A and B are shown apart, each in its own frame.
Chain A
Amino acid sequence: MLQTFGFIVILPILSIAVLLTLFRLIKGPTLPDRVVALDLMTTLGIGVIAAYAIVYHEPIFLDVALIVALVSFLGTIAFAYYVEKGTK
């Protein structure tokens, strides 16, 4: 029941959210706007992976969610470091 519900309702909602964020990633006037949009896209991607693990009954995908969270944190920190360094 949760699996069909997730396939019909939850995954489309999350896809729409990722597409809206992609619009901000393309439009964003400055570089930090784009970095924030990219960070939000990876956070939404963690949610998509968790919902996918529920829908297809594959609990091994939660490991992927953990690793994606780690890598996206490092990526955002690196972007912030170089954006701040570029102003000196």
Chain B
Amino acid sequence: MRDLIAIIFIIIGAAFMLISAIGVIRLPDLYLRMSASTKSSTLGVIFVLLAAALFFDELSVISRAIAAIAFLLLTAPVAAHRMGRAAYFNGVPLWEGTRYNDLRGKYDQKTHLLSGSDGAKPESSLDKTQEVITS
């Protein structure tokens, strides 16, 4: 019975990881690709580690799997946030079908501060990401 649940978990995990790889190939934009690569691959790894914990059924393995899951859940969003912020400042273009870009004109490109924080002059600096289609 436990083996069967482990098989189901590992199938779900492998499917999520394959879907995230397909998303990284197929999606049109860095930011959309990042949403595919961060969330679904983390979920897939969590399912595979749970399958390992169910399969071995020892206290040391279960604690290691839980530690790895907690570490992944803590670090994956932080890494994706840092990378997306760096890409936005680097001028990586948005997809041409993007409807809303709420950050356009709000960032000071010199000091990397949002408008509203101390010392930011957002109106004086041009945003390097492309225009948003409004229709």
A residues with CB within 8 A of B: 1-2, 5-6, 9-10, 13-14, 16-18, 20-21, 23-24, 30-33, 35-37, 39-40, 43-44, 46-47, 50-51, 53-54, 59, 62-63, 65-66, 69-70, 73, 76-77, 79-81, 83-84, 86-88
Q: Mark B77-119, 1 if CB is under 8 A from A, else 0.
A: 0110011011101111000000000000000011010000000
Query: For the complex, is B122 an interface residue (Cβ under 8 Å from A)?
Result: no
A-B contact count (CB 8 A): 166
Q: Across the interface, name the chain B residue whose C-beta is closest to A83.
A: B86
B residues with CB within 8 A of A: 3, 6-7, 10-11, 13-15, 17-18, 20-22, 24-25, 30, 33-34, 37, 41-42, 44-45, 48-49, 51-52, 55-56, 58, 60-61, 64-65, 67-68, 71-72, 75-76, 78-79, 82-83, 85-87, 89-92, 109-110, 112
Closest Cβ of chain A to B33, distance in Å, is: 6
In angstroms, Cα B23 to Cα A43, docked, is 15
| Residue contact B41 to A2, C-beta cutoff 8 Å | no
Main SS of the interface on chain B?
Answer: helix
Q: List 10 A-B contacts (CB under 8 A).
A: A2-B51, A18-B21, A32-B86, A40-B20, A47-B45, A54-B56, A59-B60, A62-B68, A65-B49, A69-B72
| Residue contact B25 to A50, C-beta cutoff 8 Å | no
In angstroms, Cα B85 to Cα A7, docked, is 39
